[in-house]
Amino acid sequence: MDILLPLKTNLVSVVMVVLALILLWKIRGKQSSFERLPPGPAPNPLLGNLFQFNIKEAYKYYLELSNRYGSVVTIWLANTPVVIISGYQALKDTMIGLGEEFSGRAIYPLLMKSTYGYGVLSTSGHRWKEMRRFTLMTLKNFGMGRRSIEERVREEAENLVEMFKKSEGSAFSPADMLFNAVNNVICSIVFGHRFELEDPQFKSLLRTVNTYFTVLSSPLGQIYNVFPRLVSLFPGKHHQLFKDLEEAREYCKCEAQARMNTLDPSCPQDFIEAFVLKMKEEKDNPDTEYNFGNLVSIVWNMFSAGTETTSSTIRYALLLMMKHPDVQERVQREIDEVVGQDRWLSVEDRLNLPYTDAVIHEIQRYMDLAPIAIPHKMMCDTEYNGYIIPKTQNCGRTQLALIQRTSWMQAAGFRKMMHLLCLAWASVRVLVKLWLA
């Protein structure tokens, strides 16, 4: 037995080495099949370029690569090639000039787990076009940018001001208050009513949205998108997230089912009723996209796309106003002169508040909320700048992370664009007056 032991050990070692070589050969073979992809850093075996950058600040790595390799770069996330596009001209060429070819949505396991391939954010082709068209049309009918939704926003703003007043004279964090207020605006659009802050269902919904963003922005979420089956074997917040998501989906489905026989076809009161009405209209169409799967996922898309972005922007605006009291004072002075203190601001006041409007735009420019846009995928093999970006196949996804920064957006310093925007507004107002004269 002692004589055979070294032989067995050597045999196992040889088998392991052979398997490793075969694996490396397959990986290199796959990478060579994409030889006409844009240039980029050399990937490591199995992991690609995963551990060559900080996952939380991926955009910095992408910008560094664009400076080194040009506006179109390829990186590898494990064995998946990802094409990074940056710079104004490249984005214009691909998103406008080649818009149809670049119109697909990248498939991320974490997003697919939360939507099951339905909705708007994780779909492509006919389903995406149909659901996007219906969503925009319905929101427009409910007054997106008009008075009805404006009144819902104003109601939450009033509640927010009252909560701020309760903390007058002491330090406090507005993060949760803003998060809750934005969620309630979306709830009023989707469900037709707002929730009280202590409502158990509202608390559950808030917890789900918060957990989703926590997992999505964490290294765990990024690794899950690369190795979903492996990460599923280990404990973590993702398990609680999936459980909470199922509860939220079930609640939304119950809300829709409860309205099937009670809604007024002539006057839907909220998004769910409008969608249910469309479901009833197309119940005899076997190919219809109007089903509970798309309804639930679109509702979730609204919360996931609108909550964190809006609340973070408002929170950052408060921070900048604190850091620049002179700007805050001038904004307040303009509002007092134009609107006064006897009524709330209205969207209709925007044209008469050029400085305030310019400050809002400058805040959004300066904070750079989403330096990386939602990834896309190719709808067909496409040539750009002499490189071939292949259509997505089962052997590997080719995705497009779009860096939205341009040279003037990277310039440091708040206020850079405010004076230019004010001048533009003044010019527009003069032209309008001349045209109406």
Q: CA distances (Å), 6 to each of 1, 379, 380, in order?
A: 10, 55, 54
pLDDT at 395: 31
pLDDT at 394: 30
pLDDT at 333: 94
Using a 10 angstrom Cβ sphere, with 0-12 exposed, 13-18 middle and 19 or more buried, the burial of residue 273 is: buried
Would residue 179 count as lying in a domain?
yes
State which residues form the domain around 182.
107-319
pLDDT at 396: 35
Would residue 403 count as lying in a domain?
no
Listed in sequence order, the DSSP H helices in 282-370 are: 292-323, 325-338, 354-367
Q: How many CB atoms lie within 10 A of CB 412?
A: 6
pLDDT at 361: 86
Would residue 344 count as lying in a domain?
no
pTM above 0.75, yes or no: yes
Q: The domain spanning residue 310 has which CATH number?
A: 1.10.630.10
Angle at 307 between CA 359 and CA 327, to 5 degrees: 15
Per the structure, how many domains does the chain have? 1
pLDDT at 335: 94
Structure-block tokens of residue 197:
């802050």
Would residue 428 count as lying in a domain?
no
pLDDT at 235: 87
Structure-block tokens of residue 362:
């400058």
SS3 assignment, position 77: strand
Would residue 200 count as lying in a domain?
yes
Q: Strand 399-403 relative to strand 80-86: parallel, antiparallel, unpaired?
A: parallel
The answer to whether the CB of 311 falls within 8 A of the CB of 156 is no
How would DSSP label each residue in 91-105?
A: HHIIIIITTTTT-EE
pLDDT at 233: 85
Compute the distance between CA of residue 398 and CA of residue 50 in angstroms, rounded to an integer.
16
Would residue 306 count as lying in a domain?
yes
Would residue 315 count as lying in a domain?
yes
pLDDT at 270: 86
Would residue 37 count as lying in a domain?
no
Instruction: Name residues of the chain where pLDDT drops below 50.
Output: 4-5, 7, 25, 145-146, 393-399, 407-410, 432-437
